[in-house]
Amino acid sequence: MVRYRRFGEVALELGLIGAADLAEALAEQAERRARGDRVLLGQILLERALMDETGIMRVLDTLYPVEHDDEE
């Protein structure tokens, strides 16, 4: 069985954020979702300037690798 890896877990593994920053962002996400706001963790990390778009893309590329066709 394949275990699903979460965005924050991968960001932490790649050294893009620290554990304390991840915990704070997850807490904010939980608070906002409790108010009905469907916000993604990456969005919160961007808003707080804890990650940039390049970091977000690194995490997404790790989570969802795309095979590139070398034929041109």
pLDDT per residue of the chain (72 residues) written in tens, 0 to 9: 777 899 999 999 999 999 999 999 999 999 999 999 999 999 999 999 999 999 999 999 999 988 877 655
CA-CA-CA-CA torsion sign (11, 13, 16, 17):
positive
What are the backbone angles phi and psi of residue 70, rounded to the nearest 5°? -80, -5
Q: What is the pLDDT of residue 67?
A: 80
Provide the whole-model pTM: 0.83
Q: What is the pLDDT of residue 2?
A: 72
